[in-house]
Every structure is written in C-alpha cells, then in structure tokens.
Structure 1
Amino acid sequence: MNEIIFFGLNLFPKLFKNKQNSIKKSIQFKFENENEKQIKQISSGYFSTIFLFKNGKAIEYLNENNSNENPSKIQIEENIQKVSVGFENEAILTKEGNNNSRYCFWIFNLLINFKSKCLWNWFKSYGQLGFDSETLKKTEKPILMMKNVSKIFSGNCSDCVFLLNSNQELFGCGFNYHGQVGLGESRKEEKIQKLTKIQNIPKGKIIDIQCGFNHSIMLIEEDQNENPKRKLYSCGDYIFNGLDKNEDDTYEFTEIKSSLFENDNILDFSVGHSHTLILTSNSKLIGFGSNRYGQLRTEDTNDKSIPIQIELPKLRFNEDISNYHISCGYNKSFLYYSPFFFQS
C-alpha cells in the first residue's frame, strides 16, 4: 500500500484534484492503480516530479506553462535505483543486469542509458560540470566528471552538487552565491566551476547532503558508540539555513542546534528550493525556511528562520515511522511511506 501526503504550491490542480494554489494542511495523493505500484522514492524540482516505484520503473510529471491542465506524463521503463530532480536537471541512478555497479546520469528530461562510471549532463552552467567553462551547450551525451565516485549528492531545486570519492573525500561545485558549496570564507565566488575538495568537514560518516537553491544541509553520523548520534550541518543563505544568524550567510558547514531534535534520532530530511523538513524518531516533523505557499504545513505563510515543530498529519502506518520519508521541491513538500527507500 502507498501513502503520499502533499502540501505547498499546487502546480498540478487536476492531478491532485484540488484547485487551491496553496495547500497548507496537506492532501492525499493517489495513483490511478495504487495497488499495482509500491512507491520507493519521490523527487521534485521546478519543472518536473518523478515517482520511482519498487519495480525500478518511474513516472515523471512535467510542469508546463498552463498549470490548469493535466501535466505531461512520461513513463520511464528502466532498472532505476534512485532519482534526483534539480532545478533544471535530473539525475537517475541505474543498475544494469546482474552487475552491482551503479551508473550515474545527469539529464534534462531525457533518459540516457550509457555504460560508464559516473557521467553528467547539465542544461545550464553554474559550474556544476566541474569544468573551467563559462558557457556549456546543452548536450545529449554524458560528460565524464569524476571517477571512483562512491556517493552522489544533490537536491530537489539546486544548481550545485557534491561527490564523495572512495577515499571518503568530499568535493563540490556549482552555484555558490550564498556560500552553499561550503568552501569557507575564502571562497565567495558566485560560481565554483571546478570540482573542489571541501575542507573542515565535521567528523563522522556523511549520510546525506542536499542542496536548495541558496542553502545546503549535511547529515553526519558520529561514530561514537552502539547508538551513534546524527547531527545536521548547514551553510548558505542566512534566511534559509536554520542557523538563526542575522543577515550573515554561512560559508562553511555549521551545526544546526535546536532543542526540538537534540535528543531525537534524525530519520530523514529533505531540502527544497528554499525550505527544509526533518523527520525524527519521536515522530516529530520539523521545518524551517520559506513558507510562502504553506510548504511548512502551518496556518500562516511567514518564513521561519529557525526550526519549528510542525503538526504531523495523521499517518496510515504511524507505528512504523522509520519507513516514512520526505521530499521537498520547488515550494512544495511530500511525506510518503516507503520501506524500499535507500540513501546513496
């Protein structure tokens, strides 16, 4: 069974069967043949939303100019492991045959099945390709970015990217106007066009990094004991990074401290264009950032510069909170049940 809860900017009124522009209190999303599809992951950006299913197939809905019409629907028939939709780009991680190797692809509304280690293709250049080039034409062929990549990190509305290599070294590049690549005070360029090693990373295992348009969030698991503590670190725009710093962008990853989750285990989090949601082991839903369209699920539409606790909607599988996941996008949010989800 599926459970998908949506709140925020409603770009697809007919798809969600709701004419409201802003959905603050959340609605249930259902597929036409719900019993035939077990959801694995959701990723949503500005132009598209991808629903990935357990069987490795996916459905992509494209946001077109007239949001009052049904969005274009694309069936993706591939052995897909993970998807990540950026602002003007998409990443699809596939596995071919019995080979356990994973293959990374960056695309623009086009699935490319190509045999290589880690390949990238981007539509607009903010330096995300990791090359010293101001202008890069849109290409249908993948471009080799880096070998020996163990993890790939992006976000749902971002123009920057992070890679972790087999030596556990972290690299980043892309849009850096507010310092969201996390390179420190000495690197305040608007664009980081060359894949650059990130220094001064907090100690511990990097579980996930997600990027918004103006901020990035890192989840670190401290290797201390049998019950390692997970902590969140943020950099970027002071309005959206949850650090409660007045008019001061943060150029390196700094711990987000809040009494709301200091004693909880962080199960999942997601970064949208300009907001962040966190789900904890004590069934707390926490958020901060932009709230213009109700994407933080509050009665008002005021931005939240520090983390706040959000009323958790009634969940069908509430006793199994660890299998719920969050996907934030362009001013919208999904909370969904998926025991098949994995982080990579």
Structure 2
Amino acid sequence: MMKNVSKIFSGISSFHVFLLNSNQELFGCGYNSYNQLGLGESRKEETIPKLTKIQNIPKGKIIDIQCGRYNSIMLIENQNQNENPKRKLYSCGSSNNRFLGRNESNYEFTEIKSSLFENDDNILDFSCGYHHSLILTSNSKLIAFGSNSFGQLGTEDRIDDQSILIQIELPKLRFNEDISNYHISCGSFNSFIYYSSPSFSNLEEDLIKLFERKEFCDISFKTKNGEIIKAHKLILKYRLNQNENEIEKLQEIISKKSIKESNQIFEMIYSNNSNINPILYSEIKEIINSNEKIEETMKRIYLNEKENENENDFIIERKEKQYKFPKLILIMRSELYRGMFLSVTEDKSNKVTDYSELSNKSFQIFEYWIYSNQIKDEIQITQEIIQELERGIDYFQLNQTNPNLFDLLINKFNN
C-alpha cells in the first residue's frame, strides 16, 4: 500500500503523521481524538493504529502538510494552464476554533478563507506550532491565528484564543530582497522568521531574477498608449545582437504594442524563452542574440570593452588603479555587494572598495570569473593563489555562487 513514499509529514508536538506516495495518495495514522487526521465525521476513533488512506482530499497537488498537536494544515497547489499556479491552505482538527483559522470545526480538510488573502496573493510559507500557526504570503503579509498566551503570534495582546486570522507586522528587513527568501517556523510557544540567501544558479537565471529590479533600470521605452516601461540597458546590451541600432529597433517595436505585449517582449528578451508568446517572438528574433549563452556574451563584451562607461558602474580600487564593474553583475555574484546596493538604509551612491591584498594575477582571475563564470585555460593555479583567493572569496562573500570560484580553483589545481 505504501510503495513509492515521496514525503513524510509530522510536527514538533504532534502525535500523528501523514505519508504521501508518488501517486499523490495520502495516508495517516496516530492520534485522531480531535479529528486531526481529517478522516471525516464517520471516523471518530481517538487512535488510528494503522496507516489509513485519507479520502476527500482537496483537488490539486499536495505541496506540504504541517501537523500541530490538535490540528493539521495542508498546502494545495492548483494547476491552471492559463494562469500561474495558485496555492491555498486547508485545515482540519480540534473543535477548539483557534487551531483552524475559522469559526467552525471540520472533520475533513477545509479551506482557510479570509479577506486578508487578496486575489493575487499566494502562499509562500506556513508553519504550525503547538497552539498557533503563521502564514507568509506573496504580498508580504504575515498572517497568524491561534494562542498568543506566550506572545508567540508577535503581538502584545496575550490572548489565549485568536480564532480568526489577523495580520502581523513584519519585522523591518535589512535588505530589499524578495519576500520569497524569508521563511517562518513555529515552535511550541515561540516563532521565528528568518532569511535564507537565494542559491545562485547560473548567470542567465540570475539576470532573469533581476527582471523586476527597477532601481537599476536606466533606459525607457514608450508603448503605443504612451505608457513608459523601464528596462536594464546593461542586460539589453548583453542580450541583443551588439548592433548600435538594435535598441532603436526594439523601441520601434514597443511603440506599436500594448503594455501587456511589451512586458511579454521584455520577458522573452531577458529569459530567451520564445514560448511565452511565439507570435511576438517572431517580431524580435532578428535583434536577439539567441544562440549565445549570456556568460559567453558577457565575457566577449568584457574582453572588448573593459572601459565600459555606465552610470551603474561600481569602482574597485587596487594600488591606485581603478576597475569598473557593473553593479548588476556584482549583485548576482556577491552577497556583500547585494547587501550594499540593495540596502534600504545604506547610501546607494558609487562607493570605492580598496582591495589591494590580492596580487595582480589573483585579481585578474577574480575579474575574469566575475564576467564569465570561468577560469582562463592558460592560467596556472598555485597554492599561493588559492590561499589568496580563498580570503577574497570570504571578503566578497562569493560562497553562494554555482559553480563556486573556490571549487573551480581546486579542480584546476588538482588537474
């Protein structure tokens, strides 16, 4: 019955457990005295000793289940070909309403509804504690319900029964990062919200993630209805065919399109994904450099145009010599610069970093890798260079990158 188990769900203080197989069949066992297994009104046994199939599961893909002491909360993702996946929460369990996020008990998994959830809101993360639950949404809302007798909901009112959903003010985040990089965790009588650095993949994917970063947009396009769309000139420079007329051609195309079509065009340019709108893509494919990887394009531009004049350049100074790096590239490569440039509180003007500890050879390796994600073949790696760059990697906080510069150095050294 339980072949191909894909996930097991339990909780910090629960006496029940769920198992999910690859066919999206859900089974449960353990305490059911408060209907926390969601077996339905006909199954009121206090204990379910054997794995039992859970019937009447809401339609959609089960993403996660959190088990509290007296309740269970399930995250379901509904797939719709015409829209982005929508995630909803369902709960079952105790007749004590504070555990369910609504004013009535349920023997089966029933949707948690509230006016706090907007139409475009999606569930990013949730957690179920001993007597309370927290929900994080894509509209930067922290929503809570349950007991707050120990202040675990993050409000001053030490009420023991918060049966309806309430919104909690999020702590002031240091960096203006995507809310999806924050996570929540509920203990027995406390709660945590924490930031998890995004895992870097490759340069192309990181550029796509920066598609919405308006503070680095430095070129404007006007649609046929006069709306203004701002874009990253640097990314366009890397993505288009390197012809001086390509941006003018793009402006001509945008001037004949609606705001929706224009956004789709830019999304295809940034992501190189023609499936977004094949008809529109046919109009822009002549000006897009679709065959060359973004790393290769950036490396070629770097080798040909080291003195890149750009208002978003950042200066690194070494022994009275200045090196210019585009801020966007440093943001993608380094947590140090990501925090420096995207900080809400810090000065965002061009700063100068004096980093003279690296030898010329080590800095050349660093500079080339920043653009290309590679190490030049002809570079000979020594143990001294590895030790130098290991300190540099720590200084620049480059540990999140993939492939990691240190791994590349070690592999090349071993070879």
Residue 158 of structure 1 aligns with which residue?
A: 14
Residue 172 of structure 1 aligns with which residue?
A: 28
Question: What percent of counterpart residues are identical?
Answer: 75
Is 2:157 aligned against 1:300?
yes
One-letter identity of the residue aligned with 2:194 = Y
Give unpaired runs (5+ residues) of structure 1: 1-144
Give yes or no for contact 1:215–1:240 (8 Å, CA) kept in 2.
Answer: no
What secondary structure is seen at the aligned counterpart in 1 of 2:98? coil
- The one-character-per-residue Cα deviations of 1:236-264 (angstroms, maximum 9, x if unpaired) are 11323334225xx3210000101112421
Instruction: For 1:213-292, list aligned pairs within 5 A.
Output: 213-225=69-81, 226-237=83-94, 238-246=96-104, 249-263=105-119, 264-292=121-149
Instruction: For 1:50-89, list aligned pairs within 5 A.
Output: none
One-letter identity of the residue aligned with 1:211 = C
One-letter identity of the residue aligned with 2:44 = K
Task: Quote the Cα distance in structure 2 between the aligned partners of 1:224 and 1:267.
Answer: 18
Task: Flag as ranges the 4+ runs of structure 1 deviating above 3 A.
Answer: none
Give unpaired runs (5+ residues) of structure 2: 200-415
What secondary structure is seen at the aligned counterpart in 2 of 1:319? coil
Task: Quote the Cα distance in structure 2 between the aligned partners of 1:318 and 1:324.
Answer: 12
Task: Quote the Cα distance in structure 2 between the aligned partners of 1:288 and 1:318.
Answer: 27
Query: Which structure is higher in helix share?
Result: 2
What secondary structure is seen at the aligned counterpart in 1 of 2:178? helix
Residue 196 of structure 1 aligns with which residue?
A: 52
- How far residue 340 of structure 1 moved from its aligned partner, in angstroms, is 6.1
Give yes or no for contact 1:178–1:250 (8 Å, CA) kept in 2.
Answer: no
Give yes or no for contact 2:133–2:144 (8 Å, CA) kept in 1.
Answer: yes
Give yes or no for contact 1:179–1:235 (8 Å, CA) kept in 2.
Answer: yes
What secondary structure is seen at the aligned counterpart in 2 of 1:200? coil
- How far residue 146 of structure 1 moved from its aligned partner, in angstroms, is 4.5
- How far residue 182 of structure 1 moved from its aligned partner, in angstroms, is 0.5
The normalised TM-score by structure 1 is 0.54
Give yes or no for contact 2:13–2:188 (8 Å, CA) kept in 1.
Answer: yes
- The one-character-per-residue Cα deviations of 1:104-141 (angstroms, maximum 9, x if unpaired) are xxxxxxxxxxxxxxxxxxxxxxxxxxxxxxxxxxxxxx
Residue 210 of structure 1 aligns with which residue?
A: 66
Given the superposition, is the C-alpha separation of residues 280 and 318 from structure 1 closer, same or farther in structure 2, using an over 3 Å criterion? farther
Aligned partner of 1:322 among 180, 187, 192: 180
Task: Quote the Cα distance in structure 1 between the aligned partners of 2:168 and 2:11.
Answer: 22
One-letter identity of the residue aligned with 1:216 = S
Given the superposition, is the C-alpha separation of residues 284 and 173 from structure 1 closer, same or farther in structure 2, using an over 3 Å criterion? same
Task: Quote the Cα distance in structure 2 between the aligned partners of 1:318 and 1:287.
Answer: 23
Give yes or no for contact 1:270–1:276 (8 Å, CA) kept in 2.
Answer: yes
Give yes or no for contact 1:294–1:300 (8 Å, CA) kept in 2.
Answer: yes
Instruction: For 1:113-152, list aligned pairs within 5 A.
Output: 146-152=2-8
Give yes or no for contact 1:215–1:274 (8 Å, CA) kept in 2.
Answer: no
Given the superposition, is the C-alpha separation of residues 308 and 318 from structure 1 closer, same or farther in structure 2, using an over 3 Å criterion? farther
Root-mean-square deviation over aligned CA pairs: 1.7
Instruction: For 1:4-43, list aligned pairs within 5 A.
Output: none
Larger Rg: 2
Task: Quote the Cα distance in structure 2 between the aligned partners of 1:299 and 1:310.
Answer: 11
Which protein, 1 or 2, shows the higher relative CO under an 8 Å CA cutoff with sep ≥ 6?
1
One-letter identity of the residue aligned with 2:62 = I
Residue 4 of structure 1 aligns with which residue?
A: none
Query: Which structure is higher in strand share?
Result: 1
Given the superposition, is the C-alpha separation of residues 262 and 159 from structure 1 closer, same or farther in structure 2, using an over 3 Å criterion? farther
Residue 333 of structure 1 aligns with which residue?
A: 191
